[in-house]
Structure 1
Amino acid sequence: MVASAATAALLFLAGCSADTTAQLKRIGLPEAASDRAPAIGDLWIGSWIAAGIVGVFVWGLIGWAVIKYRSDNNDMPKQNRYNLPMEIFYTTAPFVIIGVLFYYTILAQNTVTARSAEPEVTVNVTAQKWSWVFNYKSADNPDVGEDVWEGGTIQQTPDLYLPVGKSVRFNLRAADVNHSFWVPSFYYKLDVVAGRNNNFEMTPTKEGVFRGKCAELCGTYHSAMLFNVHIVSEEEYEAHLRGLAEAGNIGEARGPKDVDPQGEAKQDQGEEVGQR
Structure 2
Amino acid sequence: MAGPARATRPAKRRLLAAAATVLGTVLLTGCSSETTEQWKRLGLPEAASDRTEAVRSLWIGAWIAALIIGVAVWALILYVVVRYRKRNDEAPKQVRYNLPLEVLYTLAPFAIIGVLFFYTVEHGNQITRMSGTPQHTVNVVGQQWQWTFNYKEQVNGQEGVWETGTLDKPAELWLPVNESVHFDLTSPDVIHSFWVPSFYFKLDVIPGRTNKFEVTPTKTGTFAGKCAELCGLYHSRMIFSVKVVTRAEYDQHLKELADRGQTGAAVGGKDATTIPGHGEQEGGK
Q: SS of the residue aligned with 1:175?
A: coil
Mapping 1:187-266, distance limit 5 Å? 187-255=200-268, 263=276, 266=279
Match of 2:102 among 81, 84, 87: 87
Q: SS of the residue aligned with 1:86?
A: helix
- The CA RMSD measured in Å over matched residues stands at 2.5
CA drift at 1:75: 3.9
2:122 alignment partner in structure 1: 107
**Per-residue Cα deviation, 1:30-77 (whole angstroms, up to 9, x for no partner):** 111110111011001100100000000000011111111223545432
Mapping 1:1-276, distance limit 5 Å? 11=25, 13=28, 16-139=31-154, 145-255=158-268, 263=276, 266-268=279-281, 271=283, 273-274=284-285
CA drift at 1:257: 5.2
2:7 alignment partner in structure 1: none
Larger radius of gyration between Structure 1 and Structure 2: 2
2:14 alignment partner in structure 1: none
Alpha-carbon separation, structure 2, partners of 1:263 and 1:25: 40
CA drift at 1:78: 1.6
Q: Calculate the TM-score normalised by the size of structure 1.
A: 0.88
CA drift at 1:236: 1.0
2:8 alignment partner in structure 1: none
Could you tell me which runs of 5 or more consecutive residues in structure 2 were left unpaired when the two chains were aligned. Answer: 1-16
Code of the aligned partner of 1:19? E
The 8 Å contact of residues 144 and 275 in structure 2, kept in 1 or not, is answered as no
Query: Cα distance 1:237–1:80, how it changes in 2: closer, same or farther (>3 A)?
Result: same
**Per-residue Cα deviation, 1:96-149 (whole angstroms, up to 9, x for no partner):** 11111111111111101111121001000111010000011124xx67754111
Code of the aligned partner of 2:204? D
Give the number of equivalent residue pairs.
264
Code of the aligned partner of 1:198? N
Could you tell me which runs of 5 or more consecutive residues in structure 1 were left unpaired when the two chains were aligned. Answer: none
Q: Percent identity?
A: 54
Alpha-carbon separation, structure 1, partners of 2:235 and 2:144: 8
